[in-house]
Amino acid sequence: MRRSNQDFMVPDKSVCIGDVKTVFQYRSWLNNEAISSYMQLIGERDPIKVYAFNTYFYSLLSTCGYDAVESWEFPKDLFDYDRVLIPVHEKFHWSLVCVHFNEKSIKYYDSLKRTNMRCVKLVLDYLTMASWKRTRNEFNSDEWQLFHAEDCPKQFNSDDCGVFTCINAEYLARGVKLNFSQSDIRKFRHRICYEILTNRLLFSLDDSQPRSHG
């Protein structure tokens, strides 16, 4: 169904009432637009060091291959970022990949503690191809380490994976420990709603406490 302009709640963002409801309603599954909107906010907060893909990138890469995302446009060279965040949706479940260029590592964050080496290898293959297309120089994938992140907080239901994915991404973008748990998720749903609707993240890069909007 085509969305009417009146449904859109944030100027210049493709997020509408129905998208925000998937975040606010307890135990509702977050949809693509809500997560993509949040990823955009994460990238906009630190555009020099962090790039956050929307939810469609990995879906295209995994189903159609490199050619489907080869023309993806970036504000600057992808390899000049410190961290790249990739939301992953597979089998009705959200997870996250974080590429650390300085560490030469790719880490997979899954709040159900599932493993997915195929996913991280696919991201590594993407980087290999992107590097070759960019410079025609060989990308030494042997120098890179692939991990399933052991510090990823665990969810205890089947509904909150999208919230865990968003908050994992927000914390990782700031470089802080993932020191939250399932008991924080309802609060995080409200926080994500507020941030999407105000078009601004509550935490700045140096904050351990939310900044004031007063």
- The contacts found for 175-179 with CB under 8 angstroms, 24 or more apart, are 176/208, 177/151, 178/151, 178/152, 178/153
Residue with tokens 């969810």: 155
* Residue 187: Cβ within 10 Å count: 10
For the chain, give every domain's residue range. 5-198
* pLDDT for 6: 46
Respond yes or no: is residue 93 known to be catalytic. yes
SS3 for 14? coil
Active-site residue, selected from the candidate residues 16, 19, 46, 110: 110
Give me the sign of the Cα torsion angle 40, 42, 44, 48.
Answer: negative
Tokens (6 digits) for 37 = 């909107």
Whole-angstrom Cα distance, residue 80 to residue 30? 31
For residue 212, what pLDDT is reported? Answer: 47
Active-site residue identified among 82, 93, 159, 184: 93
- Provide the token pair at 96: 């996250």
Give the pair of three-digit tokens for residue 4: 């009417």
Pair 203, 176: CB distance under 8 Å:
no
Tokens of 33: 């637009």
Distance, CA of 126 to CA of 114 (rounded, Å): 22
The reply to whether 213 belongs to the active site is no
Q: What confidence score (pLDDT) does residue 136 get?
A: 63
* Separation of alpha carbons 95 and 91, rounded Å: 11
The one-letter amino acid at 167: I
Q: Please give the single-letter amino acid code of residue 72.
A: W
Q: What was the pLDDT predicted at 139?
A: 84
pTM of the model: 0.90
Amino acid found at 189? R
In terms of CATH, what superfamily is 5-198? Adenoviral Proteinase; Chain A (3.40.395.10)
Tens-level pLDDT at each residue, the chain (214 residues):
445 544 656 655 677 888 888 998 888 999 999 999 999 999 999 999 999 999 999 999 999 999 999 999 999 999 999 999 999 999 999 999 999 999 999 999 999 999 999 999 999 999 999 999 887 677 899 999 999 999 999 999 999 999 999 999 999 999 999 999 999 999 999 999 999 999 999 998 876 555 544 3
**Which of these is catalytic: 16, 98, 152, 161?**
161
